[in-house]
A and B are shown apart, each in its own frame.
Chain A
Amino acid sequence: MASIKTEQPPGSLLPQGPSIVLPGDLLPAPGTRLVTDDDDAFITTSTTAPVIKLGPGLLVDDDSIGAIKAGILKHTPTGNRWWVESNQRRYVAAQGESVVGVVISKSAEHYKMDIGAAQHALLGVLSFEGASKRFKPDIKIGSLVYCRVSLANKDMEAELECFNPTTMKSDGYGELKNGFAIKTSLGLARRLLDPKTLILRLLGQHTPFETVIGMNGKIWVDSESPKKIILICNAIKNSEFLSDTECKTMVKTVIEKL
């Protein structure tokens, strides 16, 4: 592995525009002597290796960093974070992410939830704001619940909770009533959470609606009438591969149909 690293032409993976990585690609690791042309935000050539934070899609193997997913290599200078932005449909639970799940079954201590991952996830019956042994919410099987992944481990079922651990408040988490839920790709769900993404704002200009976006690709939508919910759901689904201007024309045409 190490020999491959040195053979890589310097700067081949430097981001000039979007840099695309494939599984197995090695990234220049800290300590590698890399000569960058103008700025050395990528990797400093100093002897003390800089601290790098790796996000999804990257893995440390011995002393090199390799991509384990196909996607676009991303970086922020704050905290020197690196990650690969990829798209997939299968959810893999990660701690701190907000998800929308369906209650599969319940026992004395846990609700078993389907969050679209390979395993079910567990939501403690007391993991709600102000819940105690005497007073706890009763959620029916088949309900949609917006919750947060409190523990994710690749060898165990994920654990969920319905409050923010810093404030102990519900923070909007909890059972979702009425409305409709759609399943989208994880990439789209992530993009919808980005305030720069236009589609939700465009739709909101024409019709009021409520939405909850789960990082697991499950998106809940509620509005005044079923027709509007259907329209919003389909507009969100269709927006995945459209540019901003295309989104504008798409929203315009669907609103006219209403």
Chain B
Amino acid sequence: MKEAEPSTNEREFLLAALKDGARIDGRNFYDFRTLRLSFGSDYGAVEVQLGNTRVLAKVSCEVIKPYPDKPTEGFLMFSTELSPMASSAFEVGRQTDEEVLVSRLIEKAMRRSRALDTEGLCIVAGEKVWSIRVDIHFLDHDGNLVDAACIAAITGLLHFRRPDVTVVGEEVTIHTLEQRNPVPLSIHHIPICISFAFFDKGGCVIVDPTHLEEQIKEGDMTITLNVHKEVCALSKAGGIPMELDQIIQCSNIAVVKVAEITAQIQAALDADAKKRQVSRK
């Protein structure tokens, strides 16, 4: 069933509150919701909670034959599916525009920004390469799926360890996790998406919109940045036109947010690594 539009009461109240300088969940305009990261027992399983939005990412790998024109390049694949688990507005098998946008944005942010060193996934040139697959499951939808999915995907890749391999001549041995310590992927940088929603003809900019805000917004924009202030992607699909200085203002906000989120991801990874070391002893 198509999702119902929010009621007039909700719409008018939200807009009136924004004019008053308040958001309905009590946040300031440039505040992110609380971000929580938790890791599964396997390498590469991450659950991200952004307020009430929940996303689970699971990274897995397999050995496959590379394309003949790119014999040394490994694969990085994303699979995103919006299931009815996240929201009753999503149906199995029927891809919504939102789903297409989310998966394309993640592809752009992760693969096209070359965050993962795909050449480093080569085992034997032209014969065997690693194919890394990131499955992104949306568990609960309360707006801003892109940012949550992006954080989940990159944290999953950072957390993932692939089995070690040794190549002797033509012979390739893949060591199990028990035989040898698995090795992390080589990741060049950490791209983070920051989404904005615009109201009042662009006069009001908010960060990390909730589901209700997304339904009522006039326009949106997602900037993907890394901690070195390099813009990896910028997506603005429709909505109201923007002034140049507004975009610059947004990117300045994004720079601050990216630094915070990256620090939080690193802290969570370090804490998990420590926990694993203790449990191994």
Contact B9 A143 (CB under 8 A): yes
User: CB < 8 Å: which of A102, A143, A220, A226 contacts B16?
Assistant: A226
The smallest beta-carbon distance between A170 and chain B, in angstroms, is 19
Interface SS majority for chain B: loop
Contact A102 B7 (CB under 8 A): yes
Query: For residue A114, which residues in chain B have a CB less than 8 angstroms away from its CB?
Result: 4
The smallest beta-carbon distance between A258 and chain B, in angstroms, is 11
Considering only residues 118-152 of chain A, those with a C-beta below 8 Å from chain B are 118-120, 140, 142-144
A120 to B2, CA, bound (A): 11
| Most chain A CB neighbours (cut-off 10 Å) among B7, B16, B88 | B7
Considering only residues 214-240 of chain A, those with a C-beta below 8 Å from chain B are 220, 226-227, 229-231, 233-234
Say whether, besides A102-B7, A143-B7, A234-B25, A180 and B13 are in contact (CB < 8 Å).
Answer: yes
Contact B22 A230 (CB under 8 A): yes
Q: How large is the interface on A (under 10, 10 to 19, 20 to 34, 35 or more residues)?
A: 20 to 34
The tally of residues in B whose CB lies under 8 Å from a CB in A reads 21
Contact mask B1-28 → A, CB, 8 Å, 1/0? 1001111111111101100101111100
User: CB < 8 Å: which of B4, B11, B26 contacts A231?
Assistant: B26
Of all chain A residues, which has the CB nearest B3?
A: A114
The smallest beta-carbon distance between A60 and chain B, in angstroms, is 29
Of all chain A residues, which has the CB nearest B211?
A: A183
Q: Work out how many contacts link A and B, with CB atoms closer than 8 A.
A: 57
The smallest beta-carbon distance between A24 and chain B, in angstroms, is 22
Interface status of A53 (Cβ within 8 A of chain B):
no
User: CB < 8 Å: which of B5, B9, B20, B23 contacts A180?
Assistant: B9
Of all chain A residues, which has the CB nearest B4?
A: A114
Query: For residue A226, which residues in chain B have a CB less than 8 angstroms away from its CB?
Result: 13, 16-17, 20, 22
Contact mask B81-107 → A, CB, 8 Å, 1/0? 000000010000000000000000000
A-B contact pairs, 16 of them (CB 8 A): A102-B4, A102-B5, A102-B6, A102-B7, A104-B4, A119-B1, A120-B1, A140-B8, A142-B8, A144-B7, A178-B9, A179-B13, A180-B9, A226-B20, A226-B22, A230-B17
16 further A-B pairs in the complex, CB-CB below 8 A; given A143-B7, A227-B20: A102-B4, A118-B1, A118-B88, A142-B8, A143-B8, A143-B9, A177-B9, A178-B13, A180-B9, A180-B14, A180-B24, A181-B7, A226-B17, A227-B22, A229-B17, A230-B22
Those 8 A-B pairs whose CB atoms lie nearest each other, nearest first: A114-B4, A142-B8, A180-B13, A102-B7, A226-B17, A144-B7, A144-B9, A226-B20
Hey, which bits of chain B sit against chain A, CB under 8 A?
1, 4-14, 16-17, 20, 22-26, 88
